[in-house]
Structure formats: C-alpha cells, structure tokens
Structure 1
Amino acid sequence: MPQLPHPTAEALRRDPLPLRGRTALVTGASRRGGIGHAVARRLAAYGASLYLHHHVPHDAAMPWGVDRPEDVVAAVREALGDPDARVIDGPGDLSDPAVPAELISRAADALGGRIDILVANHALSGSDGILDAIDADMLDAHWAVDTRSVILLIQAYARLRAALPPRTHGGRVVMMTSGQDIASGMPGEIAYALQKGALASITRSLSSTLAEHAVTVNTINPGPVDTDYMTGDDYAAIAAMFPAGRWGMPDDPARLIAWLATDEAEWVTGQVIDSEGGFRR
C-alpha cells in the first residue's frame, strides 16, 4: 500500500497507549533509582507488557545497594496504562556468554512468544580506572558485560524477529552509550569508555543488518544522570554544568527511549543520540 504524503487528521491524533499489545525486554532494570526502571515505567505507561532483567549480586556489591526485585516490579505495575499488560521479571548474569540467548528465550516465552522492543540498559560498574591502572581483567570484564552481552542479546533478538512474518511491525533496539567521544572523554574510566564506544560505533552496522526485519536500532547517550551514585560538592559541581542547573533524572532519557519505541519514531534508525540537556563538559 503506497504511503500518503501527509497523514490523515485521524492519524495525527496521538494514541495515549501507542505501545498497547507490544512487548519489551529491558535489561538492567533492577533499581528504582536507575534508568532501566524509568524506561520500564514509561513503556508500561504507553501500554507495553514487559520483562525486567536484573542481576542482584552486581548492585548488592555497589555503594548504592540493591532493591528487592518485587518492589521494582510493583513500581512498574503501578504505571501500567493497559490493564491487560503484564510485568514479569527474571535474573541473569550477562557476563556468562550463554545467558543473553537464554534471557531472550525466557522473556519471549513469558511475553507470549514475541519481543518487540529490546532496551539494553545494563552495564558493569566499577572494575575500571585510568590508563596506568587498568589491566587485562578489567578490560575483559567490561567487554563481557558492556559489549559482548549486548551483541549476543541483539543476535538472539534478531533470530526471534526473523521467525515472524516478514516485516512485522514495531521492532526496536535501543543501546546505551556514555558520551566517551565528546570533549575530554572519560580518561578515568578507560575500560568502560572503550566498550561503550564500541556500541556507538556498531549502531549503524546493526541498523543496516536489522532493517530487513523492520527493526530500528538506535543508541542513546543520556549524559550525567542522577542514579544515586554521587553526592556533596561533586554533585553540585556537575549540576552547575547543565544550563538548567540540575542533573539529568532517569526519566529524561526514558522519555526519549519510550518515544523511539513508538510508531512515531519508525523513520529514526542508525543514530547515536545525545540527550544531555545541554551539558557543558
């Protein structure tokens, strides 16, 4: 059916539940203060059913601590826009190369056999340093979690989408990067910056690969986001670097990611998008 040069007036009226009937896997959705949780709430509010991935041992070892998975799920369920949508959760250590495909399979089974939206939000915190401090173990740890697992997740997702009828509508992949290629970069986090840079670099290639399955692929740089990891004078100094005088909040990138998941964004793919509120490095 040929596309009309302009949408009808009816089509211009925004659906309050643009993701009704669609399904999403959000990784790293383990803390109510995190970006993954904010993304999940936005997708839920738009009508999607969700599978929330968590890896409790990682957060338990971090200064910010861990939330109970059931509390995270309850907070996402609060936001559900469609009473028929579901929120399911499950664990996964994505440093294990077998887990990404297992997670995709488990999430698809739980969501009725299909995943429309994949948001690869997880990352390894810590185990990093300046060039003089890093070692092979640090590099390998970040490679395994921050990059290898994301590519293996997308590989398994693509195979799942390939089994659907040709050009099934609504396929979306969103990855996360960290602005490591802007201004002075991230000289204090060499291993993390390296692996996040790899995701930014592969975005265009993945978008070309998945285009035949009607899947868009985009990567978001959210800039500094207040996920409870900094306080005091350092926190205030970062806030002063934003024109708005505040840090980014988890819902700031979540709004963009949720929009990318809708039909309104179907013409946006292969992009690395900076969503930093005018942050001045």
Structure 2
Amino acid sequence: MPRLPHPAPESLRRDPLPLRGRTALVTGASRRGGIGHAVARRLAAYGASVYLHHHVPHDAAQPWGADRPEDVLAFVRAAQGDPQARIAAGPGDLSDPAAPAELIDTAVSALGGRLDILVANHALSGSDGTLDEIDATMLDAHWAVDTRSVLLLVQAYTRRRSDTPGGRIVMMTSGQDIAGGMPGEIAYALQKGALASVTRSLSTALAEQAITVNTVNPGPVDTDYLTGEAYEAVAARFPAGRWGMPDDPARLIAWLATDEAGWVTGQVIDSEGGFRR
C-alpha cells in the first residue's frame, strides 16, 4: 500500500467551525452546571446542530435540583457558532427500554434527518452504596440507566447510519478502574466499568462503518454536588488547586467529535487534570 502524502498546507489550518453541518445528540443535559450542557455548548460553538436530551424529574429529586429546559436551551443557543444550525431539546426516561430508540428517532427528526454524533452523558445519581449496602434493586436501576440504555442508544444510532459511513460515539466512565476505585458507589462503578470495558469491542464492531467509539473519564468535576471542607479537600488533590470544570471534559469530547480525531477509536481517555487519588 502506498504511503499517504503529507496533508496539503490549507488542510492544516484550523477551521473555526469544525462541526459545521454536523448533527449531535447529547444526553443528560438537564442542568447548566452539568457536563452535558457544557458538551452541548461546545458542539454548538463548533457549528453543530445539537439536540439536548433531559430528564428533569431525575435532577429535580437530587440536592442540586434541575434547571428549566428552556433556560438550558437558551445558554446553548447563545454559544451557537453557525446561525443556520438547529438547537433543540426534549425529554426522555432512559430507564424505559423503549426510550433509547425513540430518542434517536426524535433527535434525527429534529435535526433534519441525520445524526452524526452521539454523546451518551447521562447517568443515574444516588440509589447506591457500599458492598454491604447494595441490593438487587440498586443494581438493576443502575444497569438500566447507566449501561443498558447507552448500549441501546449506540445500537439505534448505528442502525440509523447503516447507509452512511462515518460517525462519532462518546460514552462516559468515572475512573472506577483507577487506584482506589469507588467503594462507596458499587452499583454505579460496576455499570460505568462495563462501558469502559466494552469500548474496544464496540469500536471494532463499528470500524467498517467508520464510526469511532471512545469513552471519557472526566475525573472529579464541579457540577454543584459538593461544598465546604469536602470540596476544598478534593480541590487540593489537583496540581492546579482547583476542581475540573464542566467545560474541561467538554473540550476533549468536542475534539473527539471532529475530523481531527478520526484516527482515535477504542480508547478510554482520562481527563483528570493530574488528580492525585
């Protein structure tokens, strides 16, 4: 096979809107303080049309609460790089086994008949515990939301792209395989570990369709779930002396969606800012 030539000089110049004309679904974007919202803003800023999935009842039941979907949508639109891009949002309870395929269909319809990028950011919060505390209900709840729904989203997405080569899938994990693990969140760690483990298998399965599959571990990110001394203790474990902010992993995820990352697939990537565990 002949060697590929060096890229033409003009192709080395950075496009300010590298995702112009692309379409993306970002799940778990119910809050302006969350990673999903930050990812959606970055994708929109890069020119993509974006559909934001939210499940307000989940966040409303948590200590941090939920934002109004219209407020989240407005912040994403404010970052929009291409005025012709579409920005839309809608609900979905991904614990329902029928919901992932329905969400893909809804996003495709809202974005003009095509979906190029899938960012599966959602997860179940709470309903977890130590090895001694967990039970079958906790395990099943995390399996349904954190893992089963992601695989069903990937399945529905790839079926929709069966006649169109290329595409990007980004899943999320949580550093459960790094020193110390997550002994206080066994159900969550188990299901997130499953996504990390299946990344290579999915990337191989989808290689012929030229769809890249990568998983990002964002490390500790300040999404308003911790305050006080505990917050400061975590901040001190970063060399920079601060937590990760939602836009820190969002920049990596947005890059993985671009053509520049076309040769990166099957990877679990830690974006932890040097966090000392």
Q: Shorter-chain TM-score: what band?
A: over 0.9
Q: Equivalents in 2 of 1:114, 1:212: separation in Å?
A: 19
Unaligned 5+ residue runs, structure 2? none
Q: Equivalents in 1 of 2:163, 2:8: separation in Å?
A: 32
1:152-194 deviation per Cα after TM superposition (whole angstroms, max 9, x unaligned): 0000001001033xx2x4x000000000010010000000000
Which of 257, 262, 267 is matched with 1:271 structurally?
267
Listed as ranges, the matches of 1:79-90 within 5 Å are 79-90=79-90
Q: TM-score, normalised by structure 1?
A: 0.97
* Paired residue secondary structure (2:214): strand
The AA in structure 1 aligned to 2:155 is Q
Give the equivalent residue in structure 1 for 2:45. Answer: 45
* Paired residue secondary structure (2:206): helix
Unaligned 5+ residue runs, structure 1? none
1:228-250 deviation per Cα after TM superposition (whole angstroms, max 9, x unaligned): 00000000000000000000000
Give the equivalent residue in structure 2 for 1:61. Answer: 61
Query: Alpha carbon RMSD of aligned pairs, Å?
Result: 0.9
The AA in structure 2 aligned to 1:67 is D
Listed as ranges, the matches of 1:181-220 within 5 Å are 181-220=177-216
Please state how far the C-alpha of 1:214 moved relative to its aligned partner. Answer: 1.2
Please state how far the C-alpha of 1:210 moved relative to its aligned partner. Answer: 1.1
* Paired residue secondary structure (1:100): helix
The AA in structure 1 aligned to 2:266 is G
Please state how far the C-alpha of 1:86 moved relative to its aligned partner. Answer: 1.1
Q: Equivalents in 2 of 1:192, 1:134: separation in Å?
A: 10
The AA in structure 2 aligned to 1:152 is L
* Paired residue secondary structure (1:148): helix
Describe the shift of the 1:3–1:78 C-alpha distance in structure 2 as closer, same or farther (beyond 3 A). farther
Q: Equivalents in 1 of 2:53, 2:102: separation in Å?
A: 12
Listed as ranges, the matches of 1:1-281 within 5 Å are 4-164=4-164, 167=165, 169=166, 171-281=167-277
The AA in structure 2 aligned to 1:213 is Q
Q: Equivalents in 1 of 2:177, 2:201: separation in Å?
A: 18
Q: Equivalents in 2 of 1:67, 1:102: separation in Å?
A: 23
Q: TM-score, normalised by structure 2?
A: 0.98
The AA in structure 2 aligned to 1:182 is I
The AA in structure 1 aligned to 2:157 is Y
Q: Equivalents in 2 of 1:79, 1:210: separation in Å?
A: 32
* Paired residue secondary structure (1:162): coil
Q: Equivalents in 1 of 2:3, 2:175: separation in Å?
A: 36
Q: Equivalents in 1 of 2:176, 2:136: separation in Å?
A: 20
Please state how far the C-alpha of 1:278 moved relative to its aligned partner. Answer: 0.3
